[in-house]
Amino acid sequence: MIIKDFAILAPVPLEHLKSGTQIAQDTGFVAFGSRKWELFRQINEMRGGSPVPVLIYPSHEDVPAKASFIVSWKGWYVGSEEAPKGRHSTGMTHRPPTTGQYEGDNHGHWAVFWHVQSLIELPPAQRVPISSIQTIKGGWRKEAPPRGPELVATPSTIEFSL
């Protein structure tokens, strides 16, 4: 079963998306960090073990999130692990190599690591501004673009298949 009623919308730095693509191919998934452990507990309950569509827009350091940011990557959320010590249980095995250059990114900063399979860049025709993504109850507010992962409705304009 595939969950199509909702998706995860998340910002991830472009350098981590680019270096994480190969990690996902080589190891089965890439692990991105977040402090939203409660959200991923909720998603894990909702998904019942099924993969969930992921929509990713490149985040921009030191720039407030804007509704004009573009979803230009997609993948499948396949699980998460909470990180009480702020690092992934397998070290750098599933982490984008570019995270190694940031102190704390793999040692103490994140509360949870969320796992994404089949991470790919979208073709230009499928890219959409985050402002066109429909919210769902309990999801992000259009007047406050997300600074971390949020639940959204899965857009019909982006093709998802496993």
Beta bridge partners of 117: 76
pLDDT of res. 1: 43
Q: Which two tokens stand for residue 77?
A: 């959320």
pLDDT of res. 122: 94
> Domain spans of the chain?
7-152
Segment 115-162, tens digit of pLDDT: 999 999 999 988 988 888 887 765 566 666 677 899 898 887 777 776
Q: Which of 12-26, 58-72, 81-95 has the lowest mean pLDDT?
A: 58-72
Decide: helix, strand or coil at residue 160: coil
The pLDDT confidence band at residue 8, using thresholds 50, 70 and 90, is very high
Q: What are phi and psi of 105, to 5 degrees?
A: -65, -25
DSSP state of 135: B
CA 117 to centroid of chain Cα atoms? 10
Positive or negative: CA dihedral 62, 121, 124, 5 = negative
8 A C-beta contact, residue 54 and residue 140: no
Query: Which one is predicted more confidently, 113 or 69?
Result: 113
pLDDT of res. 91: 86
